[in-house]
Chain A
Amino acid sequence: MVQMRFIQAINKALFEEMARDDKVILIGEDVEASIFGDTRGLIERFGPNRVRNTPISEATLTGMTVGAAASGYRIVLHMMFSNFIYTGFDAIANQMAKLPLMTGGQISLPITVIASYGGGRSTAAQHSDTPYPVLMNLGGLNIAVPSTPADACGLLKSAIRSNDPTFFLEPGGRGGEMGEVPDEDITVPFGVASLPIKGKDVTLVTMGSCTKIVLETAQQLISKDVNPEVIDLRTLVPLDKKTILSSVKKTGKIVIIDEARDTCSAASHISAIVVDEGFQYLKAPIRRVTVPDTPMPYAPNSEKYLIPSVERIYKAVMTLNKSY
């Protein structure tokens, strides 16, 4: 194990995967200078054939990615801020998510799209979205949402090795957070949640950018003799239903924390699954802590108000059962 920053863990995965397989190609706007630091140094090591700065042409970049992936390359497309996914959305929704099916399985698309998501830094509404709900809804894309450096490294390796298109969404502004990352070449499988805290009183389901505050809330709850079980999903597609349901079976209560806007969020989808398949375990209503259905404001206090916080999660848990 070595201590490294989130951004270094992503960088490590990219270095190792590019060294492992020379079909891995990285493209994106300013991936050489690397504004977040995650693609830093790759141009020096792998050269311009494998690491390319592109023009600002997202609609073409996503389409090109499909074409190059269908022609035998493993493409990593860095889209910088996740809002720019929208600028390239047509080829994502109409091509990337659909061609494996529409060609009767002739095409597989080993694509990894990297983007930084989420708010909290006054980047305003066009640089702070949490876009995985729209991506989840397309039905043909894997979605990884790491919350620790080790998961970031392991999930990115899985994404690059996968023959299916995958979105790898890094929580924005967290590049400096430290964590232990294995030295060895370890992948994190898709569809397997982690359980950073085991408990019996209430299930807290979290993902990506929310995990840090959920763990903080969990500590507060523990100090009040409430023992939460924390499930960090790690991937939203595929979704680890089994772990969620078996935890709810034990606790009877669930709060889902998600930085997406509430309507059709990952949280609301998970709620539906728990009602469908775990209704008999529930001892209280399901609670979602999400972002209200509005774009992100710029002013720090107005933005902060909308994003899930320790206080909101704590309150949601406490309203579930007076007997805590």
Chain B
Amino acid sequence: MKKLPNNIPTKDELQKMFRMMVTIRETENTLLASNKAGNTPGQVHLSNGQEAICVGISSHLTDEDQITSNHRGHGHFLAKGGNLKAMFSEIYGMADGVCGGMGGSMHVADLSKGIVGANGIVGGGISIATGVAFAKKLDGSNHIVVTYFGDGASNQGVLMECLNITALWKLPLLFVCENNGYSEFSPTKTVTKGDISMRAKPFGIPIWQINGNEIIEVWQTGQEAIEHIRSGGGPAFIEAKTWRQSGHFSRENLVLQKPYRTEEEEKEGLADDPIIHLTPKIDGAELIMKEVKDEVERASKAALMGTPPASNAAKKLMFSDTYKGYY
């Protein structure tokens, strides 16, 4: 296990990260409200409480660096520079959504920003990221790839396979496990043995275990891990401990028979909030929050004004090469 580094973000950087964390939070809250109002055709998996992780990591990435994400991917998308309105449009099922309304909440992707995509298959992003990292290596570039996955996903065997290949071939991949304490409705410890990050140990991959609710800690570790990868050292592994403030998905209380967390846990979890922790360090935090609120509200409203894709849109997107000129 690596010791925590002690480099420090500048005031400006910190403020930028604060703004992004608040943007993600506000977006998730708006999506929940939209979901309740019947404006999201599908369910949404919200990342409230986990914002510091992707924001801290992404502040060291460029558009040429790429990420893969999971079903809880709105924050990953925004932190990596994905367009807010285009994401809203996607989740509202509109033609001008970032994936043309074909993917929805669990599948937001923007290749121009290095966002290879969220994923509905738990663990699905990890091997894709390994392939992207393989391509980066073949390119001879020093761009890197980040794969975000949950504690639950770490029980997919594919994680072990990707740890092996990336270590063996020294691929530029940062594994980021967002350990939010739950795998759907199961507490992590009831389905997962041992320290997740230790799974990378036998492969000689450098490991950091951090408090994912402290943005500075994430930022510091992210910088060191990414430097290690950029300088050709091969993969690195960060396990960021956090807590999923929202349910597994938006309206789970409608299908579940009883609560699976105690009120006490909820209270403690909500208090250990990365935004609350950061706020005292930010000058003009209130103003930023207000600006963000307006911006998010505008984006959501604009997205709702969109039009749905053509009914036959799907067919035109498939076999685009095979049936060139056919439709």
Chain A residues in the interface with B (C-beta under 8 A)? 29-30, 32-37, 40, 53-60, 83-84, 87, 121-127, 292-302, 304-306
If over half of A's interface residues share one DSSP class (helix, strand or loop), that class is named, otherwise mixed; here it is: loop
The stretch among B7-15, B270-278, B285-293, B306-314 that forms the contact with chain A is: B306-314
**CA A54 to CA B318, docked complex, whole Å:** 36
Residue from A35, A54, A127 within 8 A of B191 (CB atoms)? A54
A55 to chain B: closest residue by CB: B155
CB distance from B16 to the nearest CB of A (A): 32
CB distance from B296 to the nearest CB of A (A): 22
A29 to B314, CA, bound (A): 31
Whether a CB of chain A sits under 8 angstroms from the CB of B198 is: no
Q: Please give, as numbers and ranges, the residues of chain B lying within 8 Å of A300 by CB-CB distance.
A: 41, 93, 308
Interface contact B121-A87, CB-CB below 8 Å: yes
Q: Are B313 and A299 in contact (CB under 8 A)?
A: yes
The reply to whether A298 and B157 contact each other, CB–CB distance below 8 Å, is: no
Interface residue? B185 (CB, 8 A): yes
Chain B residues within an 8 Å CB radius of A53? 186, 190-191
B interface residues, tally (CB under 8 Å): 49
The 7 closest A-B pairs by CB, nearest first: A298-B104, A126-B120, A122-B41, A55-B155, A299-B101, A33-B185, A305-B311
With contacts A29-B184, A124-B120, A126-B106 known, is A298 near B41, CB below 8 A?
yes
Given A297-B101, A298-B41, A298-B42, answer yes or no on A56-B153 (Cβ-Cβ < 8 Å): yes
Q: Select the stretch in B20-28, B131-139, B252-260 that faces chain A.
A: B252-260
Q: Out of B90, B93, B155, B313, name the residue touching A57 (CB < 8 Å).
A: B155
Q: Which residue of A lies closest to B99 (CB)?
A: A298
Shortest Cβ distance from B124 into chain A, in angstroms? Answer: 8
Closest residue of chain B to A304, judged by CB? B311
Contacting residues, chain B, for A302 (C-beta < 8 A): 101-102, 308-314
- Neighbouring B residues of A87 by C-beta, 8 Å: 121, 123, 156
Q: Which residues of A contact B72 (CB under 8 A)?
A: none
Contact of A60 among B104, B157, B257, B309 (CB under 8 A): B157
Q: A29-B183, A298-B41, A305-B312 are in contact. List 14 more A-B contacts (CB 8 A).
A: A30-B184, A30-B185, A33-B186, A40-B257, A55-B191, A56-B123, A56-B152, A122-B93, A126-B106, A293-B318, A297-B102, A298-B104, A302-B102, A302-B308
Indicate if the CB atoms of A299 and B120 lie closer than 8 Å: no
A258 to chain B, nearest CB (A): 18
Contact residues in B for A36 (Cβ distance below 8 Å): 255
Interface check B107, CB cutoff 8 A: yes
Q: Report B-chain residues with C-beta under 8 Å of the C-beta of A124.
A: 42, 102-107, 120
| Cα A69 to Cα B159 with chains together (Å) | 27
Collect the chain B residues with CB atoms within 8 Å of residue A34's CB.
257
Closest partner residue, chain A, to B121 (CB atom): A126
Within 175-197 of B, Cβ neighbours of A (below 8 Å) are at 183-186, 190-192
Contact partners of A60 in chain B: CB under 8 A: 157
B308 near A301 (CB under 8 angstroms)? yes
Q: Are A59 and B157 in contact (CB under 8 A)?
A: yes
A54 to B155, CA, bound (A): 10
- In the assembled complex, the CB of B316 is this many whole angstroms from the nearest CB of chain A, namely 9
Q: CA of A302 to CA of B121 in the docked complex: distance in angstroms?
A: 22
